[in-house]
Amino acid sequence: MEDNELILLLKQSDKDAFTALYKKYWRQVYNFSRLYLTGKDAAEEVVQEVFIKIWESRDFMRQEDNFKGLLFIITRNLIFNQHRKSLNEDFYKMTVISAMESSYDIEEEIEAKNLSDYIDLLINELPPRRREIFNLSRKENKSYKEIAELLHISEKTVENQISEALKYLRKNISMLALFL
């Protein structure tokens, strides 16, 4: 049965249609979650939450909606929400928001916030010393020379660490773009 037919039945609270959609897509949701979550349990929890949200929002679904796209958006938001609790506001959130056009809608604002949270997550994944150097440069606006003096390292080391951090961020942000 096609997705649009299953969505129509789902809107009528048909549990068999829900089960069919679950069986058809749970693995894709799980695999996508595993890209960003380290634990199997966390990914399984996201799968459960995604399908709970699908069931709870079935009345608002349209038969012509792209179901796979909806699954991706819900999954992505749940993953970001898990990390949002532990992340602090910083320079990147302000940069992402200010870079947006003045006439943006709510969806773009949410996407910018999610991207900013994702950047925070990536920064937290950097090795501790690289993260410290990167934060001194980007959050505290210290020069390479100031950082080198503060940490008793060479300016070249600071430059290399910043360069590696930026490469890591660019690589992972471009990987995210493949899923959008």
Residues 62, 101: one domain? Answer: no
Both structure tokens of 119: 């950047």
Residues 113, 168: one domain? Answer: yes
Residues 119, 169: one domain? Answer: yes
The structural domain count of the chain equals 2
Both structure tokens of 130: 């690289």
132 in helix, strand or coil? helix
The whole domain housing 162 covers 88-180
Residues 152, 127: one domain? Answer: yes
The pTM for the full model equals: 0.47
Residues 58, 112: one domain? Answer: no
Residues 92, 81: one domain? Answer: no
pLDDT at site 93: 53
Residues 71, 96: one domain? Answer: no
Whole-angstrom distance, CA of residue 16 vs CA of residue 120:
40
Domain CATH for 64: 1.10.1740.10
Point out the domain boundary residue: 85, 119, 135: 85
Residues 148, 174: one domain? Answer: yes
pLDDT at site 103: 44
Domain CATH for 110: 1.10.10.10
- What tens-digit pLDDT sequence spans the chain (180 residues)? 788 899 899 999 999 999 999 999 999 999 888 887 777 888 898 899 999 999 998 888 887 778 888 888 888 888 887 666 435 444 555 555 555 544 445 565 666 667 778 888 888 999 999 999 988 988 888 899 999 999 999 999 999 998 998 888 888 877 665 555
Residues 56, 124: one domain? Answer: no
Both structure tokens of 80: 């970001």
Residues 44, 116: one domain? Answer: no
Whole-angstrom distance, CA of residue 171 vs CA of residue 159:
18
CA distances from residue 149 to 10, 136, 143, 161, 164 in whole angstroms, order as listed? 63, 12, 10, 15, 20
Point out the domain boundary residue: 85, 100, 125: 85
Point out the domain boundary residue: 64, 85, 106: 85
pLDDT at site 86: 38
